[in-house]
A and B are shown apart, each in its own frame.
Chain A
């Protein structure tokens, strides 16, 4: 008799949706420039939708070069008039105030983040928003201590920073960008992603409430062209970009020959390596967190799994069992593990890779969970028996799709793990301390987790090797891209 466990139990969880009663969304949002909301020069707007229902949530300004000019002018004026003259401790005070206001309104931000982006409320409530507050708190503390961060150097701000952020962690990426920039005395123009502008615009309202001097933070919405205009603007001193490697390359070309500083946080294809002596049940939990966190829309996702051959069958069995208890559906339901794919476009990309993987000969496995009728959804997906030469192993899919390979020796695991153009993150699982240190030091990635995965902290620097990016964000290292040292 085949031994299997039936996870489709007669006892089912009833829907437990988070209430949206307290959420106030305007029908239309303008750009936030010079401390006020101003309509775009073109008068044009575009819709932002809920990817779980495909319904329109609001519409936001479509900004062009004229709006970018206006925002940069405003940031420059705020830099000259207020922010560069502000006492460092005062800058800290504003940042602390923003952090506290975010904590006070955490639930509201969490719900909007899930509505606009599709991520489960479980994550926006316990990961995204608390980390946003933590980042502001952390960099608030640095504001008046910069000379201790860089001993024996004279520290001065750069000026105006142009910041372009992605749709996977909308408010968290805004915090990663704004907090260190402001702490170091810069003013900013931030462009949130096209599909997820709402929490950034809510942050603009909060910044107004915090009484930050007008123009210190400017937020303009738009698509790729808006970002391009910001990158090209001659009066921007620094560009901070998080997004795809493809766009990162274009930005790097644009910036060549200019004096602008830049940091790029790009794609990844992280190896998660499970050794036979690891605590296997916990390693499985780490695999799950590594690839299914935020629908796999995570640049540091553990999207390549390497399992030592002696435990491969056991690990795959445990992984399949654990995947069966993952609930895909309404992002606002407190029991949802995997929410909606962020956009139709991204769903198409993921589905095309699922086809490619099958054509390449990898063995597809998906769970049996039901999916809602409307909205963009993808079941948790494995590709077994994948090869280094498969596109699903080489290219970033940015979805809940895990490519699985086995290995025999540690050398083989390290070689395969590093055999990628990316180098953002990695994971190593073993119960042997010495082995963990030996292997992690050989993985060429910015972050390597040992016996855990996808853990974030504002005190830890984050960034990539190779095509995963340039520069570091977070921690003391995260101050460096925003200061001149003399």
Chain B
């Protein structure tokens, strides 16, 4: 584990971020015009990076099974579509999803650590993490303790992430910063560094339960943190914007941002994911439009 051999930075002195400059950079990213062949490639790439998500109190085993079927068969009318990267569910749905996805390359991701607030004790968070992993979760999406973070208790936040990472074993750990609650980009940058140095495989913007969820701006700040961490340590950390990315155009803008910040090595589901529920069908609609020249009704795309 990289964290054991590297010197830890003092997180009180994380690099500062200027909000106006971030907005300027994003204005240039959103001005990129992605058409024709590059658009089709981007749509397919975005599909392959999807974490198809259902995180509702009223989720049922049936709904999760439907979602898993959708994950494997995005739109059977179109050959050579990729599958999504993962299906993301609540802990009590992990075993259902695992069974439904058996034999496919689609991963099971589970939220854990008292998602979405994280307002419980560490031993319960660790127990929950071990439980979802033992039931078959390939990936664990944890939340950080925002209260401790705001209190300046960075060591606590760091140790908690490191402990959850250990509890994950072989499972990949995505650390949700809940940027919508962090108030400033300086805080986002600091939380990103804490998570990466504590062992995160991915850093993730949001639970989807707080607004604003993912934005291009906050994603840029996190991608730049990932880049600096890579230069510092040589380890590649993944990025997952989640929540609020509901249409293809926006998804493509995220890919532009990714391409121009982290380049080729990160442009794969191994290092970049979209956390979204309704994005899949818009991507599919756009792919069909590119192929046929006509927009089809949403009723021609299955909603699961």
- A residues in contact (CB < 8 Å) with B: 1, 3, 5-14, 16, 122, 126, 277-283, 285-286, 289, 317, 321, 325, 334-335, 431, 451-452
A6 & B265 in contact (Cβ 8 Å cutoff): yes
B38 & A9 in contact (Cβ 8 Å cutoff): no
Contact stretch, chosen from B28-36, B153-161, B242-250, B273-281: B28-36
Distance in Å: Cβ of B211 to nearest Cβ of chain A: 25
Instruction: Give B261-280 as 1s and 0s: 1 = Cβ < 8 Å from A's Cβ atoms.
Output: 01111010000000000000
The answer to whether A279 and B32 touch (CB under 8 A), given A3-B234, A9-B263, A14-B37, is no
Please indicate the chain A residues that have their CB under 8 angstroms from the CB of B16 in the complex. 277-279, 431
Please indicate the chain A residues that have their CB under 8 angstroms from the CB of B122 in the complex. none
Distance in Å: Cβ of A23 to nearest Cβ of chain B: 19
The answer to whether A286 and B21 touch (CB under 8 A), given A5-B227, A11-B42, A334-B31, is yes
B15 within 8 A of A: yes
Distance in Å: Cβ of B106 to nearest Cβ of chain A: 22
For A333, the closest partner residue in chain B by CB is B33
Please indicate the chain B residues that have their CB under 8 angstroms from the CB of A14 in the complex. 34-39
Instruction: Give B34-63 as 1s and 0s: 1 = Cβ < 8 Å from A's Cβ atoms.
Output: 111111011001000000000000000000
Out of A5, A13, A282, which one reaches B38, CB within 8 Å? Answer: A13
Pairs across A and B, CB under 8 Å, 9 listed? A5-B265, A9-B263, A10-B267, A11-B38, A122-B31, A279-B16, A281-B21, A282-B17, A285-B21
Please indicate the chain A residues that have their CB under 8 angstroms from the CB of B36 in the complex. 14
For B262, the closest partner residue in chain A by CB is A5
B230 & A11 in contact (Cβ 8 Å cutoff): no
Bound together, the chains give a CA A8 to CA B265 distance in angstroms of 10
- B residues in contact (CB < 8 Å) with A: 15-18, 20-22, 24-25, 31-39, 41-42, 45, 224, 227, 230-231, 234, 255, 259-260, 262-265, 267
For B42, the closest partner residue in chain A by CB is A11
Bound together, the chains give a CA A398 to CA B124 distance in angstroms of 64
- Counting chain B CB atoms within 10 Å of each CB, the highest count among A12, A281, A334, A451 belongs to A281
Query: DSSP class of A's interface residues: helix, strand, loop or mixed?
Result: loop
Out of A6, A9, A334, A452, which one reaches B33, CB within 8 Å? Answer: A334
* 12 additional contacts (CB under 8 A) given A7-B264, A13-B32, A451-B18: A3-B230, A5-B262, A5-B263, A8-B264, A9-B267, A11-B38, A11-B42, A12-B38, A278-B16, A282-B17, A282-B18, A282-B22
B18 & A3 in contact (Cβ 8 Å cutoff): no
Bound together, the chains give a CA A285 to CA B224 distance in angstroms of 13
Bound together, the chains give a CA A322 to CA B271 distance in angstroms of 20
A279 & B39 in contact (Cβ 8 Å cutoff): no
**Total contacts A to B, CB within 8 angstroms?**
90
Bound together, the chains give a CA A14 to CA B36 distance in angstroms of 7
Distance in Å: Cβ of B46 to nearest Cβ of chain A: 11
Out of A8, A277, A451, which one reaches B21, CB within 8 Å? Answer: A451
Out of B25, B32, B255, which one reaches A282, CB within 8 Å? Answer: B25
Please indicate the chain B residues that have their CB under 8 angstroms from the CB of A16 in the complex. 33-35
- Counting chain B CB atoms within 10 Å of each CB, the highest count among A122, A289, A335, A451 belongs to A335
A281 & B17 in contact (Cβ 8 Å cutoff): yes
Distance in Å: Cβ of B78 to nearest Cβ of chain A: 20
Please indicate the chain A residues that have their CB under 8 angstroms from the CB of B45 in the complex. 11
Please indicate the chain A residues that have their CB under 8 angstroms from the CB of B15 in the complex. 279-281
Please indicate the chain A residues that have their CB under 8 angstroms from the CB of B35 in the complex. 14, 16
The 6 closest A-B pairs by CB, nearest first: A282-B21, A279-B18, A16-B33, A334-B33, A325-B260, A282-B18
Out of B22, B224, B255, which one reaches A11, CB within 8 Å? Answer: B255
Bound together, the chains give a CA A10 to CA B45 distance in angstroms of 11
B41 & A11 in contact (Cβ 8 Å cutoff): yes
A126 & B31 in contact (Cβ 8 Å cutoff): yes
Bound together, the chains give a CA A6 to CA B266 distance in angstroms of 10
Please indicate the chain A residues that have their CB under 8 angstroms from the CB of B267 in the complex. 9-11
Bound together, the chains give a CA A12 to CA B32 distance in angstroms of 12
For B31, the closest partner residue in chain A by CB is A122
Out of A9, A278, A280, A335, which one reaches B32, CB within 8 Å? Answer: A335
The answer to whether A6 and B21 touch (CB under 8 A), given A11-B255, A11-B259, A334-B33, is no
The answer to whether A285 and B231 touch (CB under 8 A), given A5-B263, A6-B264, A277-B16, is no
Bound together, the chains give a CA A11 to CA B39 distance in angstroms of 10
Distance in Å: Cβ of B57 to nearest Cβ of chain A: 38
A1 & B234 in contact (Cβ 8 Å cutoff): yes
A285 & B31 in contact (Cβ 8 Å cutoff): no
Bound together, the chains give a CA A335 to CA B38 distance in angstroms of 12
Please indicate the chain A residues that have their CB under 8 angstroms from the CB of B265 in the complex. 5-6
Distance in Å: Cβ of A461 to nearest Cβ of chain B: 22
For B36, the closest partner residue in chain A by CB is A14
Please indicate the chain A residues that have their CB under 8 angstroms from the CB of B18 in the complex. 278-279, 282, 431, 451
A335 & B33 in contact (Cβ 8 Å cutoff): yes
Bound together, the chains give a CA A431 to CA B185 distance in angstroms of 13
Out of B32, B33, B42, B224, which one reaches A281, CB within 8 Å? Answer: B224
Distance in Å: Cβ of B215 to nearest Cβ of chain A: 16
Distance in Å: Cβ of A402 to nearest Cβ of chain B: 18
Please indicate the chain A residues that have their CB under 8 angstroms from the CB of B42 in the complex. 11
Please indicate the chain B residues that have their CB under 8 angstroms from the CB of A280 in the complex. 15
Please indicate the chain A residues that have their CB under 8 angstroms from the CB of B262 in the complex. 5
Please indicate the chain A residues that have their CB under 8 angstroms from the CB of B227 in the complex. 5, 321
